[in-house]
Structure 1
Amino acid sequence: MTAIAITGVTGHLGGFVARRISEAGLPAKHLARRPEKAPKLSGADVFKASYEQSQEVVAALKGTEVLFMVSAKEHPERLQQHKGFIAAAREAGVKHIIYTSFYNASPQSIFTLGRDHAATEQYIKQQGFAYTFIRDNFYMDFFVDLIRTDGEIKGPAGQGKVSAVLRNDVAEVAAEILQNPKKWENQILDMTGPEELTLADIASQAGQILGKEAAYVEETVPEAYESRKAWPAQQWEYDSWVSTYTAIAAGEQAGLSEDIERVLGRKPTSLKLYLQTLAAENQ
């Protein structure tokens, strides 16, 4: 049986995948910076490990053939953290890395964090691993949460469209690939929703179905930087927040993929269905 290791088990995506793998009856190693926060699941052994090249990480990964690597928390040193962890995985004898990347990741991505993802993909290839890159578009849940908390989506996205994807759909894809990793070796899978929408479209649907005031507020780039100063942050964070919207405006987040349907045998969840599910839960 293929030995599996899963990172990010204390978070949404990694936690979902860990539960699915446990429910499937597959043993797995769970890697966590804070093991005490890891879910207690059948068939899981929890190991303390951070994204770094250390003997602690090498020991945790020993015996692993397939590694599910959730991208590290946003940080100015994230790429170096990724490289250290990948080097430790190679030293431990890992054969295949399944990595959560970003839709249209490239060294020139307008969304600044997409550049780190592109560099991480390249490093995984350079180190000789079999790979599967799950390239997530922006999460549908993110935009809906803005409406639910603020009543608006605000940014310089213009009339650009985004094929936003539900986070749980991505998690289901990852769990399915982990159960049959050979089938998906050396492939790049694009995670998109079933439709391209402007942020005004998203706000309109959310307002109608959730029964609340909702709007898309267009900003200029300088206005976007200024409004985000309400949250104390470093410059790289402001750059990433604003480039979320400028990437949409430029068309980098448009386009539709059939990869979720290829893996799961069903179409990705639509915004309408997701909103209807939320509305039903709140009744």
Structure 2
Amino acid sequence: MTIAITGVTGKVGGQLAALLSQQGIPARHLARSPERAPKYANATVVKAAYDDSAETVEALKGVETLFMVSAAEHPKRLEQHFAFVDAAQKAGVTHIIYTSFYNAADNSVFTLARDHAKTEQYIIKKGFTYTFLRDNFYLDFFLDLCQSNGEIRGPAGNGSVSAVARQDVAEVGACILKAPEKWANQTLDLTGPENLTMTDIVRAVSEKTGEMLTFIDETVEEAYQSRKRWPAQDWEYDAWVSTYTAIKAGEQTGVSSDVESVLGRPATSLRDLLNP
């Protein structure tokens, strides 16, 4: 079986690539900039983009199972996904494992989740065997906010999120790639082992670091205004703010056992991540 993975220069894809190498699983690594991709003895790096070009089709030829890490946030990300799926179909790929988003739906409060829902629908429409890994927000993201900003701010209220560790997602991916047929046409919810409010997160990080971190529960209007210090497009501001409104709306709460079902161990908790 020939497998290919995308996103190898990113965080989740990069961790997955390293795990596959450590486990001796050969893979084809697809990268827009191959020179940036890590080099492994049992992997080949091939140039490919999220498009339907002849180059990308050629890069996918001979691949049976494709691990498709969602493309970078972009106003045309959905078009890129559709084109890449089309290229995979032309190349003869039969199974796509796609990193989607927890509770993805056409009307999700988190704006970027809508693209994930449409991508899932398109993969099914095109007749692929599929495995959808619906990651919740990453625990690492909230820790980065605490460490970089000394606070978390946003209109999340008392809403909670069952955030998942990136490493868990990569480990699940590596496990599934060992026997993808076992996970054919399944949707897995990848969450952490607990629901956490923003207050829970800053409290846990404060206890670990000894620094007094805070959660500032902004209004939606305040959230947009506070983010104006970073030059961005409107769709980016919408995504940043809806991260928190989705949590407040309850769309990111709910603990799944799917990580444990795949890995045979509990999902990584916030305290586990803080105390490696």
TM-score by length of structure 1 reads 0.96
Is residue 21–residue 179 contact of structure 1 (8 Å, CA) maintained in 2? no
**Cα distance in structure 1, aligned partners of 2:177 and 2:210:** 39
Is residue 162–residue 253 contact of structure 1 (8 Å, CA) maintained in 2? yes
In the TM superposition, what is the alpha-carbon distance from 1:38 to its structure 2 partner?
0.8
Deviations 1:27-66 (CA, angstroms, capped at 9, x unpaired) = 2111000001111101111111000001101100000000
Is residue 35–residue 46 contact of structure 1 (8 Å, CA) maintained in 2? yes
In the TM superposition, what is the alpha-carbon distance from 1:195 to its structure 2 partner?
0.5
Q: Unaligned stretches of 5+ in structure 2?
A: none
In the TM superposition, what is the alpha-carbon distance from 1:24 to its structure 2 partner?
2.0
**Cα distance in structure 1, aligned partners of 2:47 and 2:61:** 13
1:189-200 to 2 correspondences below 5 Å? 189-200=188-199
**Cα distance in structure 1, aligned partners of 2:251 and 2:227:** 22
Q: Which amino acid aligns with 1:176?
A: C
**Cα distance in structure 1, aligned partners of 2:75 and 2:93:** 26
**3-state DSSP class of the match of 1:174?**
helix
**3-state DSSP class of the match of 1:110?**
coil
User: For residue 39 of structure 1, what is the aligned residue in structure 2?
Assistant: 38
Q: Does 1:118 align with 2:117?
A: yes
Aligned residues: 276
User: For residue 177 of structure 2, what is the aligned residue in structure 1?
Assistant: 178
1:134-153 to 2 correspondences below 5 Å? 134-153=133-152
Deviations 1:77-110 (CA, angstroms, capped at 9, x unpaired) = 0000000000000000000000000000000100
Q: Does 1:272 align with 2:275?
A: no
**3-state DSSP class of the match of 1:165?**
coil
User: For residue 281 of structure 1, what is the aligned residue in structure 2?
Assistant: none
User: For residue 218 of structure 2, what is the aligned residue in structure 1?
Assistant: 219
What percentage of residue pairs aligned between the two structures are identical? 62
Is residue 152–residue 203 contact of structure 1 (8 Å, CA) maintained in 2? yes
**Cα distance in structure 2, aligned partners of 1:264 and 1:210:** 30
Is residue 102–residue 137 contact of structure 1 (8 Å, CA) maintained in 2? yes
**Cα distance in structure 1, aligned partners of 2:126 and 2:100:** 17
In the TM superposition, what is the alpha-carbon distance from 1:26 to its structure 2 partner?
2.1
In the TM superposition, what is the alpha-carbon distance from 1:272 to its structure 2 partner?
1.1
Deviations 1:217-250 (CA, angstroms, capped at 9, x unpaired) = 0100000000000000000000000000000000
**Cα distance in structure 1, aligned partners of 2:48 and 2:2:** 17
Q: Which amino acid aligns with 2:204?
A: Q
1:249-260 to 2 correspondences below 5 Å? 249-260=248-259
Q: Unaligned stretches of 5+ in structure 1?
A: 278-283
User: For residue 103 of structure 1, what is the aligned residue in structure 2?
Assistant: 102
Is residue 210–residue 275 contact of structure 1 (8 Å, CA) maintained in 2? no
User: For residue 75 of structure 1, what is the aligned residue in structure 2?
Assistant: 74
**3-state DSSP class of the match of 2:21?**
helix
Q: CA RMSD in A?
A: 0.7
Q: Which amino acid aligns with 1:189?
A: L
**Cα distance in structure 2, aligned partners of 1:195 and 1:74:** 27
Is residue 137–residue 192 contact of structure 1 (8 Å, CA) maintained in 2? yes
Spell out structure 1 runs of 4+ moving beyond 6 A.
Answer: none
Q: Does 1:52 align with 2:58?
A: no
User: For residue 207 of structure 2, what is the aligned residue in structure 1?
Assistant: 208
